[in-house]
């Protein structure tokens, strides 16, 4: 769907936004969730690739929180305190054209995080490459780089 959407843009410079759902198993390991977790990791990484390969597109992977639905597994029910309104509000906030939110492109955001805190930490997020899947160890020749 993303590929088709990008193909419909009038030009490679046309601004666009893609907000897609992922979840915590994209970066956290839950036993017996391998297929689900890997699929969510793929979505997360896809948004990173979209952002890098299409500078005109703001692409964000959103974790909706834990919302009580028919699909909520019993082990997660005690934590299902988030609402559809919460994730919907975040999507609307991300979809606005305010450039102050564009720094989140290629990154992961959770619906139950404070957007004010995220914006306040913009410089830290960019400088430290936060909210992305990265190997952070400095080993081999990289340990000697400044």
Q: Give 29's contacts (C-beta < 8 A, 6+ positions apart).
A: 37
Q: Is residue 70 classed exposed, middle or buried when 0-12, 13-18 and 19+ CB atoms within 10 A define those classes?
A: exposed
Catalytic positions, please?
Answer: 36, 40
Report, at the CATH architecture level, how domain 2-144 is classified: 3-Layer(aba) Sandwich (3.40)
* 53-66 residue pLDDT tens: 999 999 999 999 99
What is the reported pLDDT for 44?
Answer: 97
What is the reported pLDDT for 137?
Answer: 79
Residue matched to tokens 């997020």: 125
- Provide the residue ranges of all domains of the chain, joining segments of one domain with +: 2-144
Q: What pTM value is reported for the model?
A: 0.89
* 136-145 residue pLDDT tens: 777 888 778 7
Q: Name the E strands within 8-78.
A: 16-21, 57-63
Q: Contact, 100 vs 119, CB < 8 A?
A: yes
Distance, C-alpha 137 to centroid of its chain? 22
């Amino acid at each position: 769907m993303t590929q088709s959407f990008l193909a419909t843009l009038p030009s490679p410079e046309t601004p666009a936004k893609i907000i897609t759902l992922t979840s915590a198993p994209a970066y956290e390991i839950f036993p017996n969730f391998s297929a689900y977790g890997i699929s969510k990791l793929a979505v997360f990484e896809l948004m990173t690739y979209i952002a890098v390969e299409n500078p005109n597109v703001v692409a964000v992977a959103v974790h909706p929180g834990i919302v009580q639905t028919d699909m909520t597994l019993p082990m997660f029910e005690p934590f299902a305190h988030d609402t559809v309104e919460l994730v919907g509000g975040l999507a609307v906030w991300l979809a606005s054209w305010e450039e102050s939110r564009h720094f989140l492109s290629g990154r992961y955001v959770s619906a139950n995080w404070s957007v004010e805190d995220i914006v306040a930490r913009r410089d830290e997020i960019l400088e430290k490459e936060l909210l992305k899947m990265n190997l952070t160890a400095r080993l081999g020749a990289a340990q000697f780089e400044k």
